[in-house]
Amino acid sequence: MTDKPVPLTREGKAKLEEELLDLRAQRRVIAERIHNAQEQGTSQNDAEYDDAKMEQGRVEGKILDLEDILRRATIIDETTAHHAGRVIIGSGVEVEQDGKRRHYQIVGAPEADAAQGRISNESPVGAALLGRAVGDSVDVNVPRGVIKVKVLKID
């Protein structure tokens, strides 16, 4: 695992902490399912046991991932981001892309949700916008080719 800081908003960190609590609660339920399947010992319960073990592995893996993200979390100063003259993590930015106006908020990877306009600072567009000012244009390499993005407003 890396020690690279993970930028998160306060809201994003709270959501991840809530998800971690939910997964820890699921852990107990899964352990009980495994125990019950072992006690039954029939072939029908072998499938239930295998299913519960697979679910346990998925939940444990997600718990480890979330604990690691939260350990490395750095809170984004959204007040500073909204008043910056250049695009930084936490900034809202209105751009012209493919002839259309779009609004993005630049966030850390764990909070990215393109449908909500929250793009990762590590995504091609997010990384290209970092450090740009109003009026700047940048060519961005994306999977479908090169697109031109112009910064219209930073909020």
pLDDT digit string (tens) for 89-118? 999 999 999 899 999 999 999 999 999 999
Q: Are residues 54 and 105 in the same domain?
A: no
pLDDT at 1 over 70: no
Nearest to 120 by CA among 31, 28, 34, 12: 12
pLDDT value at residue 152:
96
User: What is the pTM assigned to this prediction?
Assistant: 0.80
Q: Are residues 106 and 128 in the same domain?
A: yes
Boundaries of domain holding 68: 6-75
User: How many domains would you assign to the chain?
Assistant: 2
CATH code assigned at 110 = 3.10.50.30
Q: Which two tokens stand for residue 6?
A: 């993970």
CATH code assigned at 14 = 1.10.287.180
Mean of the pLDDT values across residues 22-49?
84
Residue 64 maps to a domain:
yes
**Looking at 31, 57, 75, which one is the last position of a domain?**
75
Residue 1 maps to a domain:
no
User: Helix H segments across 3-114?
Assistant: 10-40, 43-71, 78-82
Q: Are residues 48 and 82 in the same domain?
A: no
| CB-CB contact of 125 with 104 (8 Å) | yes
**Residue 143, class by beta-carbon neighbours within 10 Å (0-12 exposed, 13-18 middle, 19+ buried)?**
exposed
pLDDT band per the 50, 70, 90 thresholds, residue 44: low
